[in-house]
A and B are shown apart, each in its own frame.
Chain A
Amino acid sequence: MRAARYLFLFLVPAIPLVQREVDRRTVDDGRGALMYLRSGEQVRRLWPGLEDLAADLYWLRTVQYNGRERLAPSREPFAHLGTLLDITTTLDPRLEIAYWYGAIFLSEDVPQGKGAPLEGRALLEKGVRARPESWRLRQNLGFHHYLYLGDPAAAGRLMLEAARLPGAPFWLESLAANLLTEGRERERARSIWLHIHEQAPEGVFRENARYHLDRLDALDIVDAWNDLARRYTEAAGRPPRSLEELAALAGGRIPTVDRAGVPFDVDPRTGTVSIARRSRLWRHR
């Protein structure tokens, strides 16, 4: 009896220790074996009557997978994201959040997302087919066309369609009209990101919208600095070599740092001001 007790006391901590050792020696990060079933219909057939619960589990898995890929990208970043989202939305075609946020996950540039805006569009189109009465999904498809596919005409058309659906907010029609008007690209993007920011809950999606708004503000400031730099070049006969030279001329009216707190860069050869590469607001395009 006493021996059994000692054996028990030994085994309880031994099992997790052995497991930890197994995990340590496993080279595979586990993401390769993530998907055994790749068809939403197949998975749906395995959960008769419990499809909603399965959709929740797949959604949680999608969010975790996305978060993990953002923090520590695998060899093929976000490779399973599209499949996970397809399974989630096949299991519960009414889970609107999976279409919209899934499309963002898919469309944001690497490392924030998969960098596949066409996959994002396909997911949102699947949502619109499944929920033709949802103004929000159609509005989000419009947002997507504008923000990730650079197609304001399609975006405006989709948002007008959304505005005519029951329950649509009053401002959607004016937003659509704004998109169908030529020019003022940055203002249009800002108004869309503002709407997204207002509709998003606290967390990653609100942060993402905030990021884009901060970046648009930074681009406005960069434009103001570049205007000043042109005038400086004309007056001094050479481009400005640093922001300090320009700042003296601006008289404190233009911020010298972006919303991330990083000073703007000046190319001493051309005098062009831009968002600093070390700023989180910097992007390739």
Chain B
Amino acid sequence: MDTGRLNRIRAVAATTFREAVRERVLYNLVFFAVLMTLSGLLMGELSIRQDEKIVKDVGLASMEIFGTAIAVFVGIGLVSKEIERRSLHPVMAKPLSRDEFLLGKFWGLAFTLLVNVGVMTLGLYLTLLATGRGADPRLLIAAGTTYVGLLLVVALSLFFSSVASTTVAAICTVAVVLAGRFADVIRDMKQVAPETPDWLARGLYYVLPNFRTLDFKNPVVYGDPIAPAAVGLAVLYGTLYIVLLLAAAAAAFRSRDFQ
């Protein structure tokens, strides 16, 4: 990739990040800080010896919940809002390809989410240390794979917002994210609906993004051994899916008529 192209993508990414900050997206971190402080202070009293587990569960789940909300709702607006407000037209008049614009938007939100997950991970470590618990380095595995999952959600929302209006894109993204979280239910669909054709259950299982693959929270919290190959494969799965979605989004965006 030539330097000029990289610079243009970086410029769009920086603007996207600044917009996210201006829209007070990172304010959720304040709520997270309050949540972690409360769970750190109260859980030991209420949970009977489960305070460390609960602090870790709350911290990791918050990263996923807040991150997914940002990825869906900000992600959808990245392209469709620009189209609906017609603010895309002056941008397209500049020496910037549609692919570069889309990639820049993706990396801008990716950086916003990185800051979000990074600060939350730091907050989780601080809470654990403040409550006299060890700073378990394996939490980084769960935080890292959660981040890849969030990038997948951003890619999904970018794809849908490239082919549909804001509302439709929001509905489709939320539906696919939810379906992807029910991957195990889809795989075992025959148990509840025996007449389901095998090809359908299997097809849906492989086509929908499987967020379970990227979920390492439980083994990390329980201190199970995690093979590096398992993490590597999960990240590879996420990366392949993201690249595929961005390519599809770019193709749709290229062929779209904005007149």
Give A contacts to B, CB under 8 Å: 45, 48-50, 52-53, 56, 59-60, 63-64, 92, 94-95, 97, 101, 201, 203-205
Contact = CB atoms under 8 A, between A and B. Distances in A.
A118 B182 CA distance: 35
B217 interface: yes
Contact of A52 (B185, B212, B221): B221
Contacts, number: 51
Contacts of A48: 178, 181-182
Contacts of B221: 52
Given A56-B53, A60-B46, A97-B48, A49 B181 contact: yes
Interface of B: 43, 46-50, 53-54, 57-58, 61, 64-65, 178, 181-182, 185, 211-212, 215, 217-218, 221-222
Interface centre among B48, B53, B58, B64 (most CB of A within 10 A): B48
Contact of A50 (B47, B49, B64): B64
A52 B56 CA distance: 10
B177 to A, nearest CB: 10
Nearest to A101: B48
B50 A94 contact: no
A249 B17 CA distance: 88
A276 B64 CA distance: 57
User: What secondary structure prevails in chain A residues at the interface with B?
Assistant: helix
Contacts of B218: 52, 92, 94
A97 B49 contact: yes
A205 B217 CA distance: 29
User: What secondary structure prevails in chain B residues at the interface with A?
Assistant: helix
Contacts of A95: 50
Given A59-B47, A97-B50, A53 B212 contact: no
A203 B178 CA distance: 40
A60 B53 CA distance: 12
Nearest to B62: A53
B182 A201 contact: no
Contact of B57 (A45, A52, A205): A52
A61 to B, nearest CB: 10
Contacts of B49: 97, 201, 203
B178 A50 contact: no
Contact of B217 (A52, A59, A60): A52
Contacts of A56: 47, 50, 53-54, 57-58
A50 B177 CA distance: 14
Contacts of B50: 56, 59, 95, 97
B48 A94 contact: no
A49 B48 contact: no
Contacts of B178: 48
A60 B47 contact: yes
Nearest to B183: A48
> Nearest 3 pairs between A and B by C-beta?
A48-B181, A53-B61, A201-B49
A177 B147 CA distance: 52
B47 A204 contact: no
A126 to B, nearest CB: 18
B48 A201 contact: yes
A263 B217 CA distance: 55
Contacts of B64: 49-50
Given A45-B185, A94-B222, A52 B61 contact: yes
Contact of A204 (B48, B57, B58, B222): B48
A204 B46 CA distance: 11
Contacts of B212: 49
B61 to A, nearest CB: 4
Interface centre among A52, A64, A201 (most CB of B within 10 A): A52
B219 to A, nearest CB: 10
Contacts of B222: 94
Given A48-B178, A50-B64, A56-B53, A205 B48 contact: yes
A63 B44 CA distance: 12
A207 to B, nearest CB: 12
A49 B67 CA distance: 14
A97 B61 CA distance: 21
A101 B222 CA distance: 19
Contacts of A60: 43, 46-47, 54
Nearest to B45: A203
A82 to B, nearest CB: 18
Contacts of B46: 60, 63-64
Contacts of B48: 63, 97, 101, 201, 203-205
A285 B50 CA distance: 33
